[in-house]
Amino acid sequence: MEQGKGLVVIVEDEAHIADLQRMYLGREGFGVHVESDGLAGLAAVRRLRPVAVVLDLGLPGLDGMEFCRRLREGGDWTPILMVTARDEEADRVIGLELGADDYLTKPFSPRELVARVKTVLRRAAGPPGEPVLTLGALALDPSRRSVHLDGRPVDLTTTEFNLLAYLMRHSGQVFSRAQLQAQVWGYADYRDGRVVDVYVSQLRAKLADASPIRTVRGVGYSAGPS
């Protein structure tokens, strides 16, 4: 199978869904490795170092949430696209808090799956040589994808980084949740604003007093000096 776009590990216990995912992503030029059990999936990610993981929430062995928690605890920031059922909204939010980068709701279309995988892979890196962005004690380097607070590195997931980079690039501008979902997640249609809120609160937790993100009541969010 062609692997021009890198390897994606799919962790899914329903064989017909895994087969569809394998087919859609394979057509797009991704290499695909499938596991049907959470523990085997985690071992595969650690062994194969894929470019992204498509992770079912309900799995034998180890569920999707515990999978995210263990992978992130080990310092592995491989982008994770979590696949959930419609009635799992609360779980979905917890999954995002545990370090998933985005989610997809079953049933999904091939176009949606491919678009979401491409988005978690899309780097927020700007044009080559884009200067380091600073706000107070915070320094974000778009080309190295690194964030430092008072000179100390801060670990961010891909999506946390992309959101922070977007807001810092447009410092002082106010964005609605719908605008941020379109710009950072690439959603064509507005979904629920919860996703944006979850990532803002995670960034605030990680950056504490140095967080440059302001809530603009009734509008959305903005980044600016504290």
Tokens of 57: 């929430």
Residue 99's φ and ψ, nearest 5 degrees, are 115, 10
Q: Which is nearer to Ca ion, 58 or 61 (CB)?
A: 58
Q: Given the rule CB under 5 A, which of 51-59, 107-115, 132-140, 150-158 is the region that contacts Ca ion?
A: 51-59
Nearer of residues 58 and 110 to Ca ion, judged by Cβ: 58
Tell the smallest beta-carbon distance from residue 13 to Ca ion (Å).
Answer: 5
Q: Is 37 in the site for Ca ion (CB under 5 A)?
A: no
Applying CB under 5 A, does 58 fall inside the site for Ca ion?
yes
Q: Is 13 in the site for Ca ion (CB under 5 A)?
A: yes
Q: Could you say whether residue 88 binds Ca ion (CB under 5 A)?
A: no
- Considering only the stretches 38-46, 56-64, 117-125, 182-190, report the one whose residues sit in contact with Ca ion under the rule CB under 5 A: 56-64
- Minimum Å distance from CB 17 to Ca ion? 8
Residue 82 or 203: which CB sits closer to Ca ion?
82
**What residues contact 176, with CB distance under 8 A and at least 6 apart?**
219, 220
Q: What percent helix, strand, coil does the chain show, rounded to 5? A: 40, 20, 40
- One DSSP character per residue, 120-168 reads HH-----STTPPPEEETTEEEETTTTEEEETTEE----HHHHHHHHHHH
